[in-house]
Amino acid sequence: MLPQLKGIPRATIQLLECLESVRPEFFPDKMQRDWLTSSEFLLPEEKQIMESIKAKIAEATEFITAREQDQESPAKSNAFIRQLLVATENPKLELDQRLSGVVKRALEFLEFDVVDIDQKIKSAIKKEDFWVRDGGFLAITEVTGTANKNPKVKEYNDILGRMTTIYRRKGELEIPAGTNVSGLLVLNYDIDNHPAKRPKAYTGEDAHIAESAVEQGIGILSTVELHKIVVAVKEDVITKSQARDILKKSGRIECDTSFKQKQAERESAALAQNG
């Protein structure tokens, strides 16, 4: 019954000793003297060591319990960041737990002004998820999620169509003055795979989509990259302003955390130049 072991006799003895400790009734002929090592017969210095061990265990247990309770609040408030990687538009979920909801929280965390247009105009026909603004920047934003390996070309065509018709919808929408209208397509796909193993959006035979997005002023943003950007802000690698600048780009948007390094290099060069 034993597997191949280097020392089968020694392993057999250890197994029997283990079995004896948990089921001593299986070994009625062996004399048991467990009482000899009980606390009743410990000497003062042994009792002192045992009490100090118990005190340290109690102290560590109290510390761990307190820190676990402290962790609950930030873990709950930051849950939306992890949800960016797996959330879908499941209609059974509350709005703030759906993909569009967690994306909205992420964009608001980065201090974009996010307006839920569908909720605002209450149209029977769904247009787009959000208008995302930052000063003169306005992005018509669509959020979509799928378990498929790659996002569909239809998602890009849909937002392109909405941008094309945005100025024809003056009866229901008013474009803020002084804004440059662009598009932002936020995609969560291949959600059953680890984020590092997911392909970039619109590659291979669909690479022309990313090229077209540059020409049309549409940003293509995977939630993997959005997650990276939010985490970079949390870790003080980039500022929220720098994060917003990344998300204002057209074409395939990828996390660029070189801002801080470049800024540090400029500051170092300036100090060296000033002596």
Cβ pair 185, 220 in contact under 8 A: yes
Q: What is the CATH architecture of 81-259?
A: 3-Layer(aba) Sandwich (3.40)
pLDDT digits (tens, 9 = 90+) for 191-200: 999 999 999 9
Q: What is the pLDDT of residue 125?
A: 40
Span 183-188, average pLDDT: 94
Q: What is the pLDDT of residue 184?
A: 95
More confident residue, 95 or 36: 95
Could you give the CA distance from residue 231 to residue 15 in angstroms, rounded to a whole number? Answer: 49
Could you give the CA distance from residue 133 to residue 179 in angstroms, rounded to a whole number? Answer: 9
What Rg do the C-alpha atoms of the chain give, in angstroms?
30
Helix (H, G, I), strand (E, B) or coil at 114: strand
- Please state, rounded to an integer, the average pLDDT across all residues of the chain: 83
Share of the chain above pLDDT 90, in %: 41
Cβ pair 88, 145 in contact under 8 A: yes
Contacts of 115 (CB under 8 A, 6+ apart): 130, 131, 132, 133
Q: Give 225's pLDDT tier (boundaries 50, 70, 90).
A: very high
Q: Residues 228, 110, 184, CA angle at the centre, nearest 5°?
A: 75
Q: What is the pLDDT of residue 185?
A: 95
The sign of the dihedral angle between the CA atoms of 47, 48, 49, 53 is positive
Pick the range with the lowest mean pLDDT from 6-20, 146-160, 256-270. Answer: 256-270
Q: What is the pLDDT of residue 87?
A: 92
pLDDT for 124 beyond 50: no
Give Dmax over CA atoms of the chain in angstroms.
95
Cβ pair 158, 125 in contact under 8 A: no
pLDDT for 36 beyond 80: no
Q: Measuring CA to CA, which residue among 201, 221, 75 is closest to residue 149? A: 201
pLDDT for 122 beyond 60: no
pLDDT for 221 beyond 80: yes
